[in-house]
Amino acid sequence: MEYRKLGNTDLALSAITYGAFAIGGNMWGGNERKDSIAAVHASLDHGVTSLDTAPFYGFGLSEKIIGEALQGKDRTKVQILTKFGLVWDGSNNGKGEYFFDAEDNGKSLPVYKYASKENLIKEVEESLQRLRTDYIDLLQLHWPDTTTPIDETMLALQQLLQQGKIRAAGVSNYSVEQLQDAGKTITPASNQVPYSMLNRSIEKEMVHYVREKKIGIIAYSPLERGLLSGKYFSGAKLKDDDHRNGYFGQFDPEAVKTLLTALAPLAEDKGASLARLVLRWTTQQPGITVALAGARNAEQAASNAKSMDFTLTQQELDFIQAQLQQL
């Protein structure tokens, strides 16, 4: 495993960081608690020291599972990355920016983006309880909230830094312009953004900006929620309540299948699965600090970690680039 400095902080994150969205269950067709805990433990056993979660994942369940899984572990050797700013329980009293309706056991819950100081402080205390810890290594704004001034949010994060409740402050899904506005108060340690072989939009402007400002990039959905693993072209099925039934529809299945077919011999040459090849490619792209990789069980978690067991040469990277240009 490689460990990489995050922005201008003293945090060193594992290049493959465990993504805990799916173990929350909601939107992913559920998951067994014992399998989720086993996935976290397997990640740690294979050198993954960084765990990325959020209150919204399972409406608190993902954070609770992370907290449970870390009992008895050396807290100083694990980096907990969580978020704030998505409210689903009505505690925002209609304030914030409406996002979408989520479903919880058949009940529709309106989700709001809400990044006020008051809400931030409240959410952090709740996350600390669920995670069973007294500090968060990286706290990230989950989504921009257009109803709250950016400087209000950044000043609140600065306060938490001073109090020692968080070690670093980051954002997610921010544009370059929003990063510039945030930088008038504090420079975020990182920006968590979508990035994959099928979605490389950040290469146009974002990568240059964050490298110049020494801001880390945490790449989410590098496998496009499993699509780039290839398993959904070889018989794997999704549950009816899995959000990916609709999500995958944005991609041309034949183009993706052609890409994976072209990459398969390289993966085989590396003794790796397609998923591991894709994850390794992601970690070797300019500006990318870490790649998030979700896992529902120990086997998947161990496989993700092994993505760092090999390196792609420049010639191999050029070959992949040539395939991507044909998409």
Specify the DSSP class assigned to residue 2.
Answer: -
Distance CA 313, CA 260 (A): 19
Question: Closest by alpha carbon to 287, among 3, 2, 6?
Answer: 6
Structure tokens belonging to residue 180: 């510039």
Q: Which residue's structure tokens are 């269950």?
A: 25
Q: How many CB atoms lie within 10 A of CB 122?
A: 15
Query: Of the listed 18, 57, 112, 220, which one is catalytic?
Result: 57
Q: How many CB atoms lie within 10 A of CB 65?
A: 25
Structure tokens belonging to residue 154: 């950044």
Q: How many CB atoms lie within 10 A of CB 204?
A: 9
| Secondary structure element (H or E) that encloses residue 29, with its range | none
Distance CA 135, CA 130 (A): 12
The burial class, CB within 10 Å (0-12 / 13-18 / 19+), for 106 is exposed
* 247 labelled catalytic: no
* Range 182-186, long-range pairs (CB < 8 A, 24+ positions): 182/150, 182/153, 182/154, 183/213, 184/151, 185/150, 185/151, 185/154, 185/155, 185/158, 186/154, 186/157, 186/158, 186/161
- Helical axes 33-45 vs 298-305, angle rounded to 10°: 30
**Measured CA distances, 101 to 20, 116, 252 (Å):** 21, 21, 27
Beta bridge partners of residue 242, listed in sequence order: 28
The residues that are catalytic are: 57
